Amino acid sequence: MKTRNIILIGLFATALFTTLITGCKKDKKEEPLPQENIIPERFYVEIPDAINSATNPQNKKEDEIQGGDVYKHIRNFIHIGDEAAKTMRDLLIAFRKLNIYGVKTVTFKANEDGRMKKIEITEKQNYEGTTWQYKMIVTDESSKENAIHFYWNIKSIKGIAFLHFYNINQNIEKRFTNTMYKIEYNEDAKGNYQKEMTVSLTNLPEEKSDGTFDKNYVKSLKMFVGKKDNMVEIYGNSHHPTVRFIDTANVWAGGRNYAFVARCNDALNIAVAEVGLPPLTAEETGNELLKKYSVYKIFSDEIHSIGIKDQTVIDSFLKNTKPPGYFMGGKGFVSSGDSIPSTNKTEYLELKDLSKLSPFKPKDVAELVIKF
C-alpha cells in the first residue's frame, strides 16, 4: 500500500510552477488591473504528520496484516489525500505568479510533454446550482481534453477543483490515464471549522511502477479535514477492492473500506483515531459502523474462520486492535485501547471523544465517480 503513485503525480505541480511563469503568452488583451490577484492564496488544510505520513509500514508477510498494521496504514492513506490536496495548492501558487486580475486566456507550452495548454478564466459560472465568481478551465490544445476545471469565490475563499493530470502532462505513466481528483475547500463555513476541505480520488491504479500488482491497493478515497484553532478533525474512507487481512485466501466481494475518524492537536502534533473495516455493502454510519466492523471484530472473525488455535498467534494478530489508536509526531502510531501515552496524556484524553465524527457510506466511496 504505497503512496509513491500519488506523490509522483503531485511532484508535477512543482515542475509546472516554472513552466507557467516562464512559458506563457496572453491570447486576449488584459483589462485594467483591479487591486487583487483573483487566484486564491489558500486552498489547503494542513494535516499533522502524527497522523499523516508517506512511510509505508511493511507487513510481516506480503499479504498478511496484523492488528497494529491497520492503524499504521491509516497514516499512509490519509497522506494520499493530503498529497492530492497539496497538488492543487501548489498549482494555485503557480497560477498566482501569472498575476491574473480578471477574465483572460493564457496559453503556454508545457516543459513536461512539449504540448500547448490553454488556461481560460471566465466570470459568474454556475455549477450544481451555485453561481461562482470565477471558473478556470485548463485544456490540452492538441487533444482538446480537459485537465482542470476550477470554480471559486475569492472574497471568502471557497471553491471546487477537478483535476485530470494525464491531460496536463501526457508523459506521465499511462496507468494514471483515468485517475481523477476533486478538491473542495471552504473558508466560508458557518459550522464548527475556520477552514475545511474534502478530498476525493478515483481510479488509482492497481499496477505499480515496476509492472507488478498491489493486492491491497487503494482504488478510491474520500476524506474530510476541518480545522479550528489547534484542533484538526478528519474522517473518511479508502476503498480496497482486493484487500486481505488474516484469511489471505479470502477476497471480500467488492472489497472493503478502511473507514476512519481522527482528531488531532496541531500544536502538540498528536492524534487519536478509530478505524473500521466495513464491506462496501455496509449501510451503517458513524459509531454503529465503526463498532460493527471494528478491527478487533473483523480480525477475530477471520481467526475463527480459518481455525487458528495457537493463542500466541491469536494474540499477535489481535494486539493493538482495540480502539482508539494513539499517534505522536515523529513516531506515528504508538498504542491503542487503554494504553494511553503518558506524554500529553491529558491532551490525548481531550481528543478521545470521536463520537461526533462519521465516515462516509462505504458503498458511496467504492462507487465514487469524478468527472468534469
The amino acid at residue 234 is: I
Pick from 10-14, 158-162, 210-214, 300-304: least confident: 10-14
pLDDT at 173 over 90: no
Residue 109 binned pLDDT confidence (cut-offs 50, 70, 90): confident
Q: Can you list the pairs that 99-102 forms with residues at least 24 positions away whose Cβ atoms lie under 8 Å?
A: 99/37, 100/37, 100/38, 100/39, 101/30, 101/31, 101/33, 101/34, 101/36, 101/37, 101/38, 102/30, 102/31, 102/33, 102/34, 102/38
Q: State residue 8's pLDDT score.
A: 46
Compute the distance between CA of residue 332 and CA of residue 213 in angstroms, rounded to an integer.
27
Spatial neighbors of 288 by CB under 8 A, at least 6 apart, are none
Q: State residue 65's pLDDT score.
A: 66
Residue 177 binned pLDDT confidence (cut-offs 50, 70, 90): confident
Compute the distance between CA of residue 249 and CA of residue 126 in angstroms, rounded to an integer.
49
Is pTM, for the whole model, over 0.75? yes
Q: What is the mean pLDDT of the chain?
A: 86
Q: State residue 259's pLDDT score.
A: 97
For the chain, give every domain's residue range: 4-366
Higher pLDDT: 208 or 217? It is 217
Residue 76 binned pLDDT confidence (cut-offs 50, 70, 90): very high
Compute the distance between CA of residue 173 and CA of residue 64 in angstroms, rounded to an integer.
29
231-240/256-265 β-pairing? antiparallel
End-to-end CA distance of the chain: 28
Higher pLDDT: 270 or 282? It is 270
